[in-house]
A and B are shown apart, each in its own frame.
Chain A
Amino acid sequence: MAEQLLDSEPAEVALEPARTPLEVEFGTEAGALVERRVREDLRAQIARLELRLSQVFATAFPREGIEWRVGAIGGPRVLGVEELERVRDALAYRLSEAQSELARRVDVEEANRGVLELMIAEPERYRWVRISNEDVGEPGCRHWHSRPRWGVLGMLLNWWRVKVSSGCPLATGLRPPSP
């Protein structure tokens, strides 16, 4: 089904300029045909970009704060070449922004995972450091905290350990209806 929409599956989404042969005059029957071909091209490009954006969206979960909205041109109606180009360009921009932001966050999370490993191995070197699931790009509320064993005594004797939290707080509110 997806193939029907994409017609062909390219390795990379290339932003192609609207392919309008210069010798075709608009307003003529041939011009109208060419224009329709251009719109078809643009729609196929939009479909590919939407697919890529959807994949990045799923990959980005559970990270928050990434902008996904592209903005509506206004409809529902059949869009012309210029409007389809605007949709295509906006999607391409959003995709590129989302990919950059995701890559930046993945780098930070990778560094945090490295710190976490070191912290678990030598908690005394990372005193009071607290790393959460969010910091390493995972869902949930768990966190790792380097704390002294037995409070002040542990601090004085340099007995440190990593404490792992028990997860998210219990849900509150009304009970679900009984079956």
Chain B
Amino acid sequence: MTTASTEAGWVAPELREELPGLGLRYALVERGSGRSSRALKGRLRKLSDRFSGPQAINLRNQPIPWAYRVFYRHIGLDPDEQPTPVEELALERIKHGGFRSRSTLDDALTIAIMESGVALRAFDADKASGAPGIRPSQPGEELEGRPGELPAGTLVIADEIRPLALLVGATASGRGVVPRTRRTLLCGLQVKGVPDIAVEEAIWLATGVLEG
């Protein structure tokens, strides 16, 4: 049974004004990852069967995937060069003929992202301090495991002390979920045009899979 409830993460005031609709919701799950069960692999196969080429082509015309594409443009990214999470999975489905099973967490994220269209991230909850949020990076700030400083103003997902990941892209070294992770912090990125209920549903779906 799903027990985790979602909470709203913080967004830096300057971003709240500049990019209205930007938000982060998160839930704490008292589980790490692990090998995918046979049932989970079967669920992933059924999801692959339900998703076909025409759906992949039309994905960007659906409201939520389109909202993420627009957001990517707004923050200086090209979604055709750096695909949104749902488009990246759709591309994988078309290239490999199915969604690949990797681990319980990865499979949970795949299912939740494909079902809802919402961008989800996961972190090791024991390596994060306090509630997560979104803010621009400070001058001189670094992302662990990445050489050099982050350009000031880079949008990051951060805890109350340090950046955990780029808002779109790399996760800081040691902050992601690894085999010894015991508690997972699931985060859903909300952008303008994506309703609260979709983000909550995405987290709920991923939590449900993780908790079995």
| Known contacts A1-B67, A5-B70; A72 and B57 CB within 8 A of each other | no
Q: Which of B45-61 contact A (CB under 8 A)?
A: 45, 57-58, 60-61
Contact between B78 and A72 (Cβ–Cβ < 8 Å)? yes
User: Is the pair B18, A76 in contact by a Cβ cutoff of 8 Å?
Assistant: no
Q: Is A103 an interface residue (CB 8 A)?
A: no
Query: 18 A-B contacts, Cβ less than 8 Å apart?
Result: A1-B67, A2-B67, A39-B18, A50-B70, A51-B66, A68-B80, A69-B78, A71-B78, A72-B77, A75-B76, A75-B154, A76-B154, A76-B155, A77-B153, A78-B75, A78-B155, A79-B74, A79-B76
Please name all residues of chain B whose beta carbon is closer than 8 Å to the beta carbon of A51 when the two chains form the complex.
66
- Scan residues 87-130 of chain B and give those whose CB is less than 8 A from a CB of chain A: 97-98
**Which residues of A line the B interface, CB within 8 A?**
1-2, 4-5, 36, 39, 43, 46-47, 50-51, 54-55, 57-58, 61, 68-79, 83-84, 87, 91, 176-177, 179
Q: How many A-B residue pairs have CB under 8 A?
A: 102
Q: Which residue of A lies closest to B17 (CB)?
A: A36
Residues of B contacting A71 with CB < 8 Å? Answer: 78, 81
Nearest-neighbor residue (CB-CB) of A39 within chain B? B18
Asked if residues B57 and A1 are in contact (CB atoms below 8 Å), the reply is no
On whether the beta carbons of B75 and A76 are closer than 8 Å, the reply is: yes
Does A2 contact B136, Cβ atoms closer than 8 Å? no
12 more contacts with CB within 8 A, not counting A39-B18, A176-B97, are A1-B64, A5-B67, A36-B17, A43-B74, A46-B73, A50-B73, A69-B81, A75-B75, A76-B167, A77-B155, A78-B19, A78-B155
A79 to B136 CA separation, bound complex (whole angstroms): 12
Residues of chain B touching chain A, judged by Cβ–Cβ distance below 8 Å, are 15, 17-19, 21, 42, 45, 57-58, 60-61, 63-64, 66-67, 69-70, 73-78, 80-82, 97-98, 136, 151, 153-155, 166-169, 192-195
Please tell me if the beta carbons of A83 and B192 are within 8 angstroms of each other in the complex: no
Q: In the complex, are the beta carbons of A1 and B194 less than 8 A apart?
A: yes
Q: Assess the B66–A77 pair: CB atoms within 8 A.
A: no
Question: Complex: how many Å from CA A46 to CA B73?
Answer: 8
Given contacts A4-B21, A77-B153, contact A179 B58 (CB under 8 A): no
Q: Closest residue of chain A to B42, judged by CB?
A: A179
How many angstroms from the CA of A20 to the CA of B27 in the assembled complex? 43
B166 to A, closest residue via Cβ: A76
B192's nearest neighbour on chain A, judged by CB, is: A5
Q: Complex formed: what's the CA distance from A55 to B64 in Å? A: 15
Q: Is the CB of B193 within 8 A of A1?
A: yes
The complex places the Cα of A55 from the Cα of B58 at a distance, in Å, of 8
Chain B residues within 8 Å of A70, by CB: 73, 78, 80
Residues of A contacting B58 with CB < 8 Å? 58
Q: Once the chains bind, are A75 and B155 in contact (CB under 8 Å)?
A: yes
**B64: chain A residues within 8 A (beta carbon):** 1
Contact in complex: A55, B61 (CB < 8 Å) = yes
Contact across chains for A57 and B60 when beta carbons are under 8 A apart: yes
